[in-house]
Amino acid sequence: CSNFSIRKYVAIVSCEQRQSYKDDFNAEYGEYQNLLARIDNITQKFHKFNEEWKFVTQESKAHQVEKDKNVK
């Protein structure tokens, strides 16, 4: 279940309607920015992990060290 309400917007025909849309946008924009920052952070972690993974093969010493850590 989501905290977001899905609204269908129609063409703007009045200043009041425009302001209402603007208020809705502004009310949720901060949360959007926070979620986007979290996604960017997670994406960067995955990119870093992917780069590190390229250097750790099953035959490498680094892989064996990690394997030994997990066994203990």
Establish if 49 belongs to a structural domain: yes
pLDDT of residue 19: 95
Establish if 2 belongs to a structural domain: no
Question: What is the amino acid identity at position 11?
Answer: A
Closest by CA to 14, choosing from 2, 5, 22, 3, is: 22
Establish if 60 belongs to a structural domain: yes
- Show the domain range for 63: 7-70
CA distance 68 to 15: 67
Establish if 20 belongs to a structural domain: yes
Residues of the chain with pLDDT under 50: 1
Establish if 23 belongs to a structural domain: yes
Residue with tokens 């009045």: 14
CA distance 28 to 39: 17
pLDDT of residue 51: 81
Domains in the chain, number: 1
pLDDT of residue 17: 92
